């Protein structure tokens, strides 16, 4: 690829749409797929509805992937991510007013015993005019190291705070 990454294999996309229900499901499955010599197996299922309970477009992504490195390390990631388009869906050609809320959780387990779990506890707010999330919180548990990431208070900046289970906060730059 132009960026130096190497990929091989196939990505099979399946699309099922129901015009009357304003829904569509896109599934993509990997066949004999590698990314930079790592074997990648699994699929994503994206369920999209045109109008959720808040009358906003929403996509729910169900993730199920296994990555095998050449040294034998295997990681399995599963989870669900929900993305609600809360502003700007009525101006499709103007991305400057698009805002999304992201929620969900995912986990990654490795065959060496390491586990990583993430759970969005306050929806992450993503404004397309900003490179970073502008607010929201995620709880993390990385092999028993428990902490919360906080993206702030609706300000477009690269600042965030990590707070460990003992209550000690650390300011970080993203």
What are residue 29's DSSP bridge partners? 12, 43
Q: Are 58 and 50 in contact (CB under 8 A)?
A: no
pLDDT of residue 20: 76
pLDDT in tens, 88-129: 999 988 989 999 999 999 999 999 999 999 999 999 999 999
Residues contacting residue 51 through CB under 8 Å, at least 6 positions apart: 22, 57
User: Does the pLDDT of residue 25 top 80, yes or no?
Assistant: yes
pLDDT of residue 92: 83
User: Looking at residues 38-64, what average pLDDT do you find?
Assistant: 96
Handedness of CA 152, 153, 154, 156 (dihedral sign): negative
pLDDT in tens, 126-167: 999 999 999 999 999 999 999 999 999 999 999 999 999 889
Nearest to 31 by CA among 16, 14, 19, 46: 14
């Amino acid at each position: 690829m132009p960026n130096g990454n190497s990929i091989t294999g196939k990505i099979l996309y399946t699309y099922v749409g129901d015009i009357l229900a304003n829904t569509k499901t896109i599934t993509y499955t990997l066949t004999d797929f590698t990314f930079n010599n790592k074997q990648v197996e699994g699929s994503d299922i994206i369920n999209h509805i045109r109008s959720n309970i808040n009358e906003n477009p929403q996509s729910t992504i169900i993730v199920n992937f296994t990555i095998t490195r050449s040294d034998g390390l295997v990681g399995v990631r599963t989870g669900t991510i929900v993305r609600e388009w809360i502003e700007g869906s009525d101006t499709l050609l103007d991305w400057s007013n698009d805002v999304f809320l992201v929620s969900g959780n995912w986990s990654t387990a490795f065959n060496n015993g390491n586990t990583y779990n993430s759970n969005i506890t306050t929806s992450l707010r993503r404004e397309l005019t900003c490179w970073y999330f502008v607010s929201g919180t995620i709880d993390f548990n990385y092999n028993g190291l428990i902490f919360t990431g906080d993206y702030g208070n609706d300000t477009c900046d690269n600042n965030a705070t990590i707070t460990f289970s003992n209550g000690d906060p650390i300011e970080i730059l993203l």
